Amino acid sequence: MEKERFIFWTRWTFHHTWVILVSYIVNLILVLILAGLFGISMAEMGTWEEQFAMQLAGTAVFGLGVGLLQRSLLREILGEGMLWPWKVVGGFILAEVLAALICLPLQIDPMRLRFIEGNALPEVLVFTMAGLIIGFLQWFQLKKHYRRSFSWVPLNALGWGLCLLVMYLPQLIPALNHILTLVLLFSLGATLYGALTGLMWLQKRD
């Protein structure tokens, strides 16, 4: 039984490594497509409202990709678990909305929160907040199956925070600020998320 749980942990970690990376890339591509539809060039950022709309759409796609993966892996535990992916999407969107409410009076453009703009820390905070919200939403499903299910909340928040925190390294070590290195670093962050949140599944089910 312990061996089976460890094998599941490795699968959980491995699949999150590539799904988070691919989902984030799809998120960026969608933002670029929407920018084109809005008539925004690469040199421009658009209005605050346009940036916010693009961020929400990209975030929803990112969350859906991760949520669908998790539902497929947890099908044995959650049954159909139809709401699981939408809780991931909802958590990320709510975090984006809360971040926007903070940015608006400070006149900070939503796009400036992304690590690709040269500063990873704002997006680290957004991802951590999203992880906390998602963790709470999903905890209600997990508490039926695990005695220490509440551990999912801090694990999820910390996992998403660490996922983006590694993107702060290029700011400390400029030599790392290269497209291939950034992809590898983001993959490392995704692996950390998978490994950390996967600890949840090493405990015995009720």
pLDDT band at 42 (very low <50, low <70, confident <90, very high): low
Q: How far apart are CA 99 and CA 111, in angstroms?
A: 11
pTM: 0.91
Quick one: pLDDT at residue 21?
93
Q: Could you state, in order of their start, the residue ranges of all structural domains in the chain?
A: 2-202
The residue-averaged pLDDT of 25-53 equals 79
Structural tokens at position 34 = 């929407």
pLDDT band at 9 (very low <50, low <70, confident <90, very high): very high
Q: How far apart are CA 5 and CA 112, in angstroms?
A: 41
- Poorest-pLDDT segment among 21-30, 107-116, 192-201: 107-116
- Poorest-pLDDT segment among 30-44, 60-74, 75-89, 147-161: 30-44
pLDDT band at 44 (very low <50, low <70, confident <90, very high): low
pLDDT at 46 over 80: no
The residue-averaged pLDDT of 77-88 equals 81
Q: How far apart are CA 197 and CA 49, in angstroms?
A: 34
Q: How far apart are CA 122 and CA 110, in angstroms?
A: 10
Quick one: pLDDT at residue 121?
86
Contacts of 56 (CB under 8 A, 6+ apart): 93, 96, 97
Label residue 128 exposed, middle or buried (CB < 10 Å: 0-12, 13-18, 19+). buried
Q: Cα 191 vs. chain centroid, distance in angstroms?
A: 12
Average pLDDT score over the chain = 88
Residues 87-142 have pLDDT tens digits of: 999 999 999 999 988 888 878 777 777 776 677 888 899 999 999 999 999 998 88
